[in-house]
């Protein structure tokens, strides 16, 4: 049976695509699936750093598409999770060296070798985006609860629909306290506008920064709320029926008392 190719995209930069790609990939690998994560952000290589594999790169995805090496030569096995592989981006080329047709050809080969291939799309809706979605079966749109990210996600969702991909949504970096104070859009507000199937809600978590800087997959940190959220998302993408867990809106003792006595 052929594997699935899932593209992780957003439109806007800095919303957590790379973190989500590495976390979902690692979580699926922990579920026992053979997973490849592919960095499609040609020219701005990041996924290898987040995975802590930057010192082991010989070949990259551009080499694979251009026929300079085989997929097995470019795929780097993760140090901690056996079933997880990384195919890095090229740092010296630009995104125009790849064509959607070339990527689609490689995607068909990847499908035969892996259960899941997670593509980390670059920000924007230009050639890099077109390349990333060329061979995808499914799409996941990452969005943070701010107006500009929602606007860009909406545009990307329209483009994905136009290519017959029905994306799922991950709302990332939710800060329940700020939502409660009305300083941030809630995930309901985001869903109201984007109106697509929800893959999961990820709370703001300082451990993401530590994870990225140390090259440790987030899902391996058991005390990380974001890591737990990504593990649940991976289960859902794997077809398991896991209920959506809303990030806790922790309230202080004083606010609880105030609410009880009708002061707020």
Partner 1 sequence: MINFDNTVPVKLKGAGGGLWITIDPSHPESEIIAEIDRLLKKLKHLAINADVILDVGDADGQEELVGRIKSHLENDFELGTISTTPKKRSIPTERRRQRDLSKGWNHHKSDVLMLRGRVRSGQKINARKHLVITGDVNPGAELTAGGDVLVLGTLAGEVHAGYPENDGAMIFSLAFNPSLVTIGLITAIGAGEPGTQGPEFACVEQGSIVVKNYMKENPFKRMPWPEVI
Binding residue (CB under 8 A) for partner 1 from 56, 80, 127, 151: 151
| Strands in the chain per DSSP E | 4-9, 35-39, 76-77, 84-87, 116-120, 138-143, 168-174, 197-203
47: burial class by Cβ within 10 Å (0-12, 13-18, 19+)?
buried
Residue 15 is assigned to a ligand binding site: yes
Q: Check whether 219 is labelled as a binding-site residue.
A: no
Q: Which residues contact 40 (CB under 8 A, 6 or more apart)?
A: 61, 89, 103, 119, 120, 121, 122, 128, 131, 132
What is the length of the chain? 264
In this structure, what token pair is assigned to residue 53?
């594999």
**Interface with partner 1 includes 152 (CB under 8 A)?**
yes
Residue 57 or 159 having the CB closest to partner 1: 159
Binding characters for partner 1, 189-228, by CB under 8 A (x = yes): ----x-x---------------------------------
Sole window of 42-50, 103-111, 146-154, 204-212 interacting with partner 1 (rule: CB under 8 A): 146-154
Parallel/antiparallel/unpaired status of strands 76-77 and 84-87: antiparallel
Task: Assess 13 for contact with partner 1 (CB under 8 A).
Answer: no
144: annotated binding-site residue? Answer: no
Q: Segment near partner 1 (CB under 8 A), from 156-164, 198-206, 213-221, 233-241?
A: 156-164
Report the interface residues with partner 1, using CB under 8 A.
Answer: 147, 151-152, 154-155, 157-159, 161, 193, 195
């Amino acid at each position: 049976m052929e594997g699935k190719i899932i593209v992780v995209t957003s439109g806007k930069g800095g919303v957590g695509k790379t973190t989500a790609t590495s976390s979902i990939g690692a979580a699926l690998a922990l579920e026992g699936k053979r997973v490849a994560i592919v960095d499609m952000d040609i020219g701005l290589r990041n996924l290898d750093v987040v995975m802590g594999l930057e010192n082991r790169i010989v070949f990259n995805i551009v080499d694979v598409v251009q026929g300079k090496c085989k997929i097995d030569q470019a795929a780097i096995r993760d140090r901690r999770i056996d079933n997880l592989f990384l195919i890095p981006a090229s740092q010296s080329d630009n995104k125009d060296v790849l064509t959607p047709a070339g990527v689609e050809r490689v995607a068909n080969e990847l499908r035969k070798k892996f259960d899941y291939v997670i593509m980390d799309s670059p920000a924007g809706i230009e050639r890099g985006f077109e390349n990333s979605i060329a061979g995808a079966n499914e799409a996941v749109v990452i969005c943070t609860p701010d107006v500009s990210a929602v606007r860009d996600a909406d545009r990307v969702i329209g483009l994905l629909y136009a290519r017959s991909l029905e994306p799922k949504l991950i709302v990332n970096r939710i800060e329940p306290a700020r939502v409660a104070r009305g300083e941030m859009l809630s995930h309901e507000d985001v869903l109201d506008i984007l109106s697509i199937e929800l893959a999961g809600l990820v709370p703001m978590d300082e451990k993401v920064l530590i994870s990225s800087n140390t090259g440790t997959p987030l899902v391996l940190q058991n005390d990380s709320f974001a890591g737990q959220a990504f593990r649940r998302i991976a289960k859902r993408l794997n077809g398991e029926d896991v209920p959506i867990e809303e990030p806790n809106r922790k309230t202080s003792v004083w606010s609880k008392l105030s609410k009880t006595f009708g002061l707020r």
